[in-house]
Amino acid sequence: MVGVSIAEPGELSEVQLVDAEMLVRNAFGSEFRSHDWLHAVEGVHIVLTEDTTLMGFAAVVARTLHYNGVAFDTGYVEGVAVRGDQQGRGLGRLVMDHAEAVIATRHQLGALKAVDAAAAFYAARGWRPWTGRTQAAGPAGVIDTYDAADRIYLFNPADSDRTPDGDAALICDWRPGDLW
């Protein structure tokens, strides 16, 4: 039986964090860099285990996205991974069910940047692809971050009229490494 734990920032032990990092690194391969993991560390962690074996992981990190003069308290999903030999069991769905519940109870909006192979998975769950411009607010001001290859998705748990729609730029907060 698969168990689900929701861990607040700082609640996972160093060993648990190392195990989660290895799971995520194995899932993403050489594309996954040190700063990618650091983006997930301070989030709320969704941990799937079977017996004592880590089966799946995701983090929901608090960020602020701005759109058309409105700041959205955003749950940004990072490091979604399921053990390779356990895929096809619905564990990705399970980890995202809990990530989306965290977003719905704590944030106005959800966001993530998907790899190409996962884009259809998120779209089928109701995540909407962002097709507009992207920018980041940093130390030198607002910079353009648009890349046609980016697969940025938004999730609005309340489905309000304030949902960003692509007419103006979606602006993320600054962070080291990949901004999105």
Q: What is the pLDDT of residues 15-41, one digit of tens each?
A: 999 999 999 999 988 878 888 899 999
Q: Is the pLDDT of residue 75 over 80?
A: yes
Query: What is the per-residue pLDDT for 107?
Result: 96
3-state per-residue secondary structure call for the chain: CEEEEEECCCCCCHHHHHHHHHHHHHHHHHHCCHHHHHHHHCCEEEEEEECCEEEEEEEEEEEEEEECCEEEEEEEEEEEEECHHHCCCCHHHHHHHHHHHHHHHHCCEEEEECCHHHHHHHHHCCCEECCCCEEEEECCEEEECCCCCCCEEEECCCCCCCCCCCCCCEEEECCCCCCC
pLDDT for 99-109, tens place per residue?
Answer: 999 999 999 99
Query: What is the per-residue pLDDT for 162?
Result: 66
pTM as predicted? 0.94
Query: What is the per-residue pLDDT for 167?
Result: 81
pLDDT for 141-176, tens place per residue?
Answer: 999 999 989 999 999 987 655 678 878 999 999 999
pLDDT for 77-133, tens place per residue?
Answer: 999 999 999 999 999 999 999 999 999 999 999 999 999 999 999 999 999 999 999
pLDDT for 44-56, tens place per residue?
Answer: 999 999 999 999 9
Query: What is the per-residue pLDDT for 97?
Result: 98
